Amino acid sequence: MKILGISLVSICIVIWSIVGVLIISTRPMAITYTQEQINSAIEYFNYDFVLAPDKEQQIKDINDLYGKDKNIKFEDINDLYGICNIMTRQVILDTELPRNMTAITLAHEFEHLNFVISEYKANYNAIIKLLESDKPYLVYQANLLAKTILLGGVSAEYDCTELLVKYKESLWRL
């Protein structure tokens, strides 16, 4: 279908790009948490190591958690754990993806397929989703990523420290 000689897919890509820029540019940049709050959150996101099952079982568990059966494949994608194509609704995971990062990476990519554009928000949503699971290995992977973020182990666009601190503090108020 074309509108004014432009394909509908092209129009959707342009709109999606504009929305993405607007959402990313509206991220609050002021630091509103203290080192003490970060340390407290690090203590909270502490969970004993749990070995994850094979990657196929993790894919099944994440599909069940999200209530979806996505098009997922493994490829050598160099320096990335996973990517998704919002137009084809396909997730590509790296063939060298560590076993104990498969589920959290897949959850992160599913968040993008749910139209969460920013990397930091996709990280946060994936962490919270896995924390709510009844499977210990999923909870472990969520805690592992949360601690990595809180310890400064991710680049700025993936950093959801402020959201994690707020989440931890909101639990103490309940």
Which amino acid appears at position 102 of this protein? T
Q: Hey, which residues does 82 pair with through a beta bridge?
A: 93
**What was the pLDDT predicted at 21?**
46
**Dist. CA 80–CA 94, nearest whole Å:** 7
What residue spans define the domains of the chain?
1-30, 32-173
Q: Which helix (H) or strand (E) holds 14?
A: helix 8-25
Percentage of the chain with pLDDT > 70? 80
CA distances from residue 62 to 65, 75, 81 in whole angstroms, order as listed: 5, 19, 16
pTM beyond 0.75, yes or no: yes
Q: Please, which residues bridge with residue 142 across strands?
A: none
- Does domain 32-173 correspond to CATH entry 1.20.140.10? no
Quick: pLDDT tens for 58-73. Answer: 999 999 999 877 789 9
pLDDT, tens digit, for every residue of 10-21? 555 556 555 554
